[in-house]
Amino acid sequence: MNDRSTDTVLAPTIDVHLGSDDASKALREDVTAGLTTQPKELPPKWFYDERGSALFDEITRLDEYYPTEAEREILLQRAPEIIDLVAPETIVELGSGTSDKTKAVLDAARVRGTMRRFVPFDVSEAFLRTSAIDLAERYPGLVVHGVVGDFDHHLPYLPTGDRQLLMLLGGTLGNYRPDDRLAFLSAIASRQSAGDHVLIGIDLVKDVGRLERAYDDASGVTAAFNKNVLHVVNRELQANFDIDRFQHVARFDLENEWIEMLLRSDGEQVVEVSDLNLAVTFSDGELMRTEVSAKFRQPAFEAELSQVGLDPVAWWTDQAGDFAVSLSRQS
């Protein structure tokens, strides 16, 4: 084990590719498009204001919600093996948040002694700055280079040039529908160099009852999280959604093998979004989708990786077989 105890704590650097108006512009565009189409839809990224992030953190500790702890189990057990297979000089994490589970991988990489740089990538500048300072202090001598951006526009701004492990954890990939998912995987693969690796956490197909309970807990935390998107639109766009007149719905779509989270209108109502000069009619029982969360099977997922030029290397699950972490390599 390398002794890094005398290394200097390096001040993290942060590249910001999202301007102060970018989030507002994106919200306006997404809400306009989502409320004027049929069926209506709001993207899940708007769940995550301060309140929504706190609610999701609470969700991850619920008995019904298994993915977080299942993925943590895999990473704690397999991190040394992952690092031995990759020997990364740089680790990049998309949607890094607090990088809590990632620390198992960073710890293993630190022991091996090849890692010199960590690149957390997240949409929240404030969150990323706090996390980057914590990581720099936890790993003296490590270069922490944060990037503030979104997946759809700013992947090309990630640093390249050495042996990399890119990580996308937490089942985030499941929020993409098949065509968009393939495009996103292709964008990831296109920025990789030969020998670079990609580590992805994905939820697996299982008993429908367990899946639906994970997204509709008995204590109602997920319902509050789902409805939080209406609070965000009300606050940011001067809308008048009556939160109590929308009910949380979570159901598994057997054909597409994904969970849908929706909000069901309780009675006929008209919602005004003042900043968009928009009046939106909801019929009684109308469903508005707020999230899909795809569940995967190994053969189909590895076929998608191969389709974009990523060769499957390893596949690990937790002991219960609920969740998987896939390692692939650029051809």
- Residues contacting 22, CB < 8 A, separation 6+: none
- For residue 6, name the pLDDT band (cuts at 50, 70, 90): low
- Counting DSSP H helices and E strands in the chain, the numbers are 10, 13
Give the lowest-confidence range in 92-96, 277-281, 321-325: 92-96
Evaluate whether 129 touches 146 at the Cβ level (below 8 Å).
yes
Please give the angle made by the CA atoms of 202, 208 and 211, to the nearest 5 degrees: 45
Domain ranges of the chain: 1-238+297-331
Predicted confidence (pLDDT) at residue 209 exceeds the cutoff of 70: yes
C-beta of residue 234 within 8 angstroms of C-beta of residue 246: no
Residue with tokens 């640093």: 159
- Quote the pLDDT of residue 263: 98
Percent of the chain with pLDDT over 70: 98
Residue 41 contacts residue 227 (beta carbons within 8 Å) = no
| Helix or strand run (H / E) with residue 200 | strand 197-203
Contact 102, 72 (CB under 8 A): no
Identify the pLDDT of residue 53: 86
Convert the pLDDT of each residue in 216-268 to its tens digit. Answer: 999 999 999 999 999 999 999 999 999 999 999 999 999 999 999 999 999 99
Residue 13, pLDDT above cutoff 90? yes
What is 1-238+297-331's CATH number, 3.40.1710.10, 3.40.630.30, 3.40.50.150, 3.40.640.10?
3.40.50.150
The confidence score (pLDDT) of residue 96 equals 79
Average pLDDT taken over every residue of the chain? 94
Angle between helices 178-190 and 298-307 (to 10 degrees): 50
User: Does 2 score more than 50 pLDDT?
Assistant: no
